[in-house]
Structures are given as structure tokens and as C-alpha cells.
């Protein structure tokens, strides 16, 4: 009966509008929830053919979809490990309960999180989500991990009690030798210089460098013998070189030649020589031939003009930050920085096809397509923003407008049911 289909359509209308109101209520309730993705309810008409001359109301059904690919605006925070994704991509996380078991963890995805170290040094949120990433090697490089699986991901762990030292591998010697002391009238007294370097274990050692002038029978030789010793191996000469200096008008005071007596050979192209100390080789730059940026021989003063080196002593970790490419850097009080993890961004063809779980996390599914782990800022993905959180994607004004429409539609469907009821009552009254 056509009138009965009208009743069914009205009931269906009440049901779908109640579902839409539930979605609106959820969106408004989470309008202040970081990383929340709004739910959208869609109505679809149903048509039932009943033959010529009559019409049967098919009613309406509702489907809902969480718009996971819709992003909220970013707001700044004061925590260095508050992270948000700017653009496409998701941060890999795992439930802390699974990480504690130690038998691997299921990768979940999120777009933002406030991560802080727990008692084990793991970066986790208050909702017990642990950040995942690829651990770096001792030299800070990231080994090649598979990109189509989460098998290589590990919980990001920060050892705040970690010590770190950086051995010296290169130094620059900018020293001026007194030109007057190579004259035949001088005594030939040597000049000494001690330059500190740091060993492989963070210990402080020194290169003892002795400069001895060559005294000719007459005039000036403009020649010195440089002898380098290592305090880590007392008494051991690691390099000895004869330095000749130009006394011409144009290049006066600069190196004109270096002769290797022992140790690593001098490279005139780079101005460097290699000395092998107890902990390994150190490249020492003394300047190129004819250049004034290394060892010179001018005037009558002995002066270490510019001495620099890499490396550092053992230091304590002071802070951790994440850069736009997802690299986790540890900062030490000695001034050095070490890369300890890389956080990839996960992407798939259809983010809206993922399964939505609690705590603004999502699980890849067959509907979302195969995921891939990208370097942040590479491929289709955006970058990682530290000191930031992503706000809810809910537009409260829009939701309140939808609520008014839903309320009116619900009232109208209720009116249809009331009208059908009155019509059925009139039909019943015909028998009287």
C-alpha cells in the first residue's frame, strides 16, 4: 500500500537524520581535540518501482565517512617533541602496551602528537602512543631499511644520560715563524707549540710541534724543520718535515716547498699532511705553497695566529629536536650534535580508506591501498613540524548550521509520520 511506504520513508528519514546528528555531535564534541578528523554523513535515496500508476516511497539510507585526509591548522607549542605533519603523510606510532612486550608492534598512524620521554626514555604521548622511527648508526647515517613494510621501525628512545665524544680527525695550523731567527747570527733555538686533540675515547691528548731553524754559515736560510710528536705515545715522532719559505717581493713569507722526512706526505694541492697518532690518522693543514693562510715566516715574532680543529671532549646530552626531514638530533653540552633517529612519513593512495581507531590513530587496510614509508619532504609527503600540534578539523560554525538543517529535516519527517497516522485514522473511520 502506497500510504504504508510513506510511513516507512518517514521512519527512515528519522533514522538517518538521527545518525547525522550523532556525527555532528561527535564533531562538535571533538572541536578542541588535537588531530581530530571530522565525520561526514551522506544521504542516499532508494527508489522502488511499483508498476504503472502508483508510486512506492523507497526512503533514504545514510553512510558516514571520516575525512582522514582533511587537515587542521597548526598551532605552536613550547615542547620540542610536539610534532605535526604539514601536508600529506602520517607519523608512525605504536601502542605502548605492545612495545613493552618486545615482540614487535603493530604500526598505527597519526598526524600529530605531544611526545615526551617516559621512564625508559621512549617518546610517548599521554594516551600511551610511542613514536616509531629508524635508528641511526654510530656515525649518524641511516642504513637502508625496507620502505614497504614497518619491520625496520623501532621505538624512538632517548637516553638522556648518554655521553658522547667526537674524536679529532682534522686540524688547521696557522702559525707565524720569526724570519729573523734563520740568520747566521742567531743561536738556532727551537720554538715549541702544543695543540690539543681528542682521542677516540674522548680523552684529551696533544700534538707537540717543534720548529727548529736552519742556521747557515752566512745570510739567512729561510728554512725550518717541523717535528711532530704525540703525547699519547711519548717520545714517538709521528712526522718530520723541512719547511722552506719564499723571500721574494710577491710571495715573501709564504711556503715555497715542503720536504717530507718522515710521516705522511705533504699534498701541495690541499696544503695538508697526514700524521698517524695513537688513535688513528689526523689530517693537518699547514697551508698551500704560496698561500698566506697556513704557516708563514714574517717579522721577528713567533705567533700561533689561527689554530682550529674538529672533535670534542665527552659531553652530556642536553636536548633533543626533530627537523623538517624527520631526523631526530641529540644536542650535547660540548656543542656537538648527533643524529640518532629518522622518523619517516607514511602515505598511501586512499587515506580515507583506513580504519579509524581511538586516540586519533588509523590502521592501513585493503581499502586504503599499499602504504610506503617516505623521507619527510620527499615524494608526495609534506614535512615534519616540531614545536607544533595540529588542531581539530572541525568547523564549529559549519557544524551548528548542519545541526539546524538536521533538526528541521527530523521535524519534517516526524510530521510525515503524524500525517500518515491521521490519514490511517480517517481510513479507519470510513467503516463507521
Q: Count of CB atoms within 10 A of residue 170's CB?
A: 15
Residues 289, 246: Cα–Cα separation, whole Å: 9
CB atoms within 10 A of CB 284: 28
Which band of pLDDT confidence, cut at 50, 70 and 90, is reported for residue 432?
low
Range of lowest pLDDT (41-55, 190-204, 231-245, 349-363): 41-55
Q: What is the pLDDT of residues 271-300, one digit of tens each?
A: 999 999 988 999 999 999 999 889 999 998
Query: pLDDT tens-digit profile of 314-364?
Result: 777 888 999 999 999 998 887 788 899 999 999 999 999 999 999 999 999
Residue spans of the domains in the chain: they are: 2-67+393-429, 74-164+315-390, 168-310
| Dihedral sign (CA 414, 420, 424, 430) | positive
Do residues 42 and 20 touch, judged by C-beta distance below 8 A? no
CA distance 354 to 365: 5
pLDDT of residue 101: 64
Q: What is the CA radius of gyration of the chain?
A: 38
CATH 3.30.2290.10 fits 168-310, yes or no: no
- Backbone φ and ψ for 114, nearest 5 degrees, come out as -100, 100
Q: What is the pLDDT of residues 76-115, one digit of tens each?
A: 999 999 999 999 999 999 999 888 766 678 999 999 999 9
Across 366-376, average pLDDT: 95
Amino acid at each position: 500500500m502506497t500510504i504504508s511506504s510513506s510511513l516507512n520513508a518517514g521512519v527512515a528519514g528519522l533514522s538517518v537524520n538521527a545518525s547525522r546528528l550523532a556525527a555532528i555531535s561527535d564533531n562538535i564534541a571533538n572541536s578542541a581535540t588535537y588531530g581530530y578528523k571530522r565525520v561526514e554523513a551522506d544521504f542516499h535515496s532508494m527508489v522502488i518501482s511499483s508498476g504503472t500508476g502508483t508510486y512506492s516511497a523507497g526512503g533514504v539510507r545514510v553512510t558516514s565517512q571520516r575525512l582522514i585526509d582533511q587537515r587542521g591548522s597548526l598551532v605552536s607549542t613550547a615542547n620540542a617533541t610536539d610534532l605535526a605533519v604539514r601536508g600529506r603523510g602520517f607519523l608512525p606510532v605504536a601502542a605502548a602496551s605492545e612495545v613493552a612486550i618486545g615482540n614487535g608492534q603493530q604500526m598505527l598512524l597519526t598526524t600529530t602528537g605531544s611526545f615526551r620521554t617516559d621512564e625508559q626514555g621512549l617518546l610517548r604521548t599521554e594516551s600511551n602512543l610511542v613514536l616509531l622511527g629508524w635508528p641511526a648508526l654510530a656515525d649518524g647515517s641511516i642504513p637502508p631499511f625496507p620502505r614497504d613494510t614497518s619491520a625496520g621501525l623501532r621505538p624512538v628512545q632517548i637516553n638522556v644520560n648518554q655521553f658522547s665524544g667526537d674524536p679529532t680527525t682534522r686540524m688547521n695550523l696557522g702559525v707565524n715563524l720569526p724570519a729573523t731567527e734563520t740568520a747566521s747570527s742567531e743561536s738556532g733555538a727551537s720554538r715549541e707549540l702544543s695543540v690539543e686533540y681528542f682521542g677516540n675515547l674522548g680523552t684529551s691528548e696533544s700534538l707537540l710541534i717543534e720548529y727548529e731553524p736552519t742556521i747557515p754559515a752566512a745570510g739567512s736560510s729561510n728554512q725550518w724543520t717541523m717535528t711532530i710528536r704525540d703525547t699519547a705515545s711519548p717520545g714517538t715522532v709521528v712526522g718530520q718535515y723541512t719547511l722552506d719559505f719564499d723571500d721574494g717581493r710577491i710571495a715573501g713569507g709564504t711556503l715555497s716547498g715542503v720536504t717530507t722526512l718522515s710521516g705522511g706526505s705533504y699534498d701541495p694541492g690541499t696544503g695538508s699532511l697526514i700524521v698517524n697518532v695513537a688513535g688513528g690518522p689526523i689530517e693537518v693543514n699547514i697551508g698551500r705553497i704560496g698561500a698566506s693562510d697556513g704557516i708563514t715566516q714574517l717579522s721577528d715574532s713567533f705567533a700561533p695566529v689561527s689554530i682550529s680543529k674538529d672533535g670534542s671532549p665527552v659531553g652530556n646530552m642536553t636536548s633533543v629536536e626533530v627537523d623538517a626531514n624527520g631526523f631526530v638530533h641529540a644536542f650535547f653540552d660540548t656543542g656537538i650534535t648527533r643524529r640518532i633517529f629518522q622518523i619517516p612519513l607514511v602515505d598511501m593512495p586512499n587515506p580515507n580508506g583506513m580504519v579509524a581507531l581511538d586516540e586519533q590513530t588509523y590502521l592501513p587496510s585493503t581499502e586504503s591501498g599499499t602504504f610506503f614509508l617516505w623521507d619527510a619532504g620527499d615524494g608526495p609527503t609534506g614535512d615534519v613540524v616540531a614545536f607544533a600540534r595540529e588542531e581539530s578539523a572541525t568547523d564549529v560554525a559549519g557544524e551548528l548550521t548542519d545541526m539546524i538543517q538536521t533538526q528541521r529535516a527530523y521535524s519534517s519527517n516526524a510530521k510525515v509520520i503524524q500525517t500518515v497516522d491521521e490519514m490511517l485514522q480517517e481510513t479507519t473511520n470510513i467503516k463507521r
